[in-house]
Structure 1
């Protein structure tokens, strides 16, 4: 079904999503998957690799319409949807700034992006081309492109995967800096529990395939208080509620 008007920022009710494998076998990826993400909330979809997290995002982005069920996207505000994928997907013949501005609607084409580029550490790299960037810098540019559109809903599909630990940690903190300056409803796919505990207000825990919701883990602790000791306590609390989920 097509998405319909929303009383809440994001509501997902996917009854079933199946696909055919390379051998012609029918595989059920999602089954009775239901959850909500509240206004201005940063939520993480946490689940094992291959459970259907990315499939869920593809459905919500309108990239996969072959499913049964429904979902409701945000209403009000800009109504714009932005996405950050595992690959930066920057146009190689455009500069960093040109890549970011290409995503802007006409009403924002002349927008001052100095603050955004400064926050992401890209101020001196606006005229560079993607081939001149490291993977970490290219992913910063992808984040800039998403936030520049002032989206009502932000989807992130493991945007820090395959980065070394130090670079990934730096980008997580940059993401929080930019998101905190203009909190927008966000849903991020990850299989990294520590990452989810650091970034999110709520973790939506998924089962192995076919994915359904095992439960929710709400994090009431402000992000600035999530120091190593607090993170250890959150990990213990999570494992008490979801034993066996890593």
Structure 2
């Protein structure tokens, strides 16, 4: 069994749900499969304003997903602290795999995320936004990967979280499908606004979705820099996104 390499840090939820997400990870070390200690994170500190969309980008293996797991509360053995915006701890996560139960219908999979107090909530508007109104009775095996990821997004937004975490939710999709889902994500997020934190390797995706992009260095990772995007989303056409991507690539060499 791996030793306890870092002390366990409490993850607190502030009393004001409109407060930002604050992350300060001043150290994260773990034991690799070969028994060698891996110093994954040196110092990652950032703030995501309430209701904003923030993206982490960095080289493979730099600790992006580790940081996401820490924010989610799945990894408590680290140095530092995390302050979440929701006093009730309502957090939704969307992973690379949709993780749907094959013996449950689309609607049943989505309703599984609801608490007993709201399990009968009318979700017609949510199904309409994500384009699943005609798919409610289908089973996951009847869905394409793109549709399955729509279900995963709907399940996340169904609980009306104050914090949404996304771990490369559109990876392995063809660009046309991924672009459609990015537009869908923004549409649902705009309708059910929440503080969002996403991990991606795709700079163009980050430019499409984000209010701010946080660039991380190689392991042990630190914050290389932050790029804030002020352009309204309805004005981020393909030409603007490509130009902005080039501007960022010039500013942060090696990110493409």
- Residue 14 (structure 1) aligned to one of 21, 25, 39: 25
RMSD over aligned CA atoms reads 1.3
Structure 2 distance, partners of 1:136, 1:211, is 32
Give the structure 2 partner of residue 51 of structure 1. Answer: 62
Q: How does 1:217-228 map to 2 (within 5 A)?
A: 217-228=227-238
Question: Does the CA-based 8 Å contact 1:9-1:75 persist in structure 2?
Answer: no
Structure 1 distance, partners of 2:49, 2:163, is 11
Q: How does 1:46-195 map to 2 (within 5 A)?
A: 46-76=57-87, 79-195=89-205
Task: Using structure 1 for the length normalisation, give the TM-score.
Answer: 0.96
Give the structure 2 partner of residue 207 of structure 1. Answer: 217
* TM superposition outliers: structure 1 runs of 4+ over 4 Å: none
Give the structure 2 partner of residue 24 of structure 1. Answer: 35
Q: Secondary structure of the equivalent of 1:212?
A: strand
Structure 2 distance, partners of 1:85, 1:22, is 23
CA displacement, residues 104-152 of structure 1 (integer Å, 9 cap, x when unaligned): 0122211111111111111111111111111111110000000000001
Give the structure 1 partner of residue 4 of structure 2. Answer: none
Structure 2 distance, partners of 1:222, 1:68, is 36
Question: What is the CA-CA distance between 1:86 and the residue it aligns to?
Answer: 0.5
Q: Secondary structure of the equivalent of 1:19?
A: strand
Is the deviation greater in 201-210 or in 2-11? 2-11
Question: What is the CA-CA distance between 1:200 and the residue it aligns to?
Answer: 0.6
Task: Using structure 2 for the length normalisation, give the TM-score.
Answer: 0.92
CA displacement, residues 155-189 of structure 1 (integer Å, 9 cap, x when unaligned): 00000001111111111111011001121000000
Question: Does the CA-based 8 Å contact 2:204-2:242 persist in structure 1?
Answer: no
Is the deviation greater in 127-136 or in 236-245? 236-245
CA displacement, residues 14-60 of structure 1 (integer Å, 9 cap, x when unaligned): 11111111211111111111111001001111112211111111111
Give the structure 1 partner of residue 6 of structure 2. Answer: none
Question: Does the CA-based 8 Å contact 2:95-2:168 persist in structure 1?
Answer: yes
- Residue 2 (structure 1) aligned to one of 5, 10, 14: 10
**Count of aligned pairs between the two proteins:** 245
Structure 2 distance, partners of 1:20, 1:42, is 32
Question: Does the CA-based 8 Å contact 2:58-2:201 persist in structure 1?
Answer: yes
Q: Secondary structure of the equivalent of 2:169?
A: coil
Question: Does the CA-based 8 Å contact 1:15-1:30 persist in structure 2?
Answer: yes
Question: Does the CA-based 8 Å contact 2:27-2:78 persist in structure 1?
Answer: yes
Unaligned runs of 5+ in 1: none
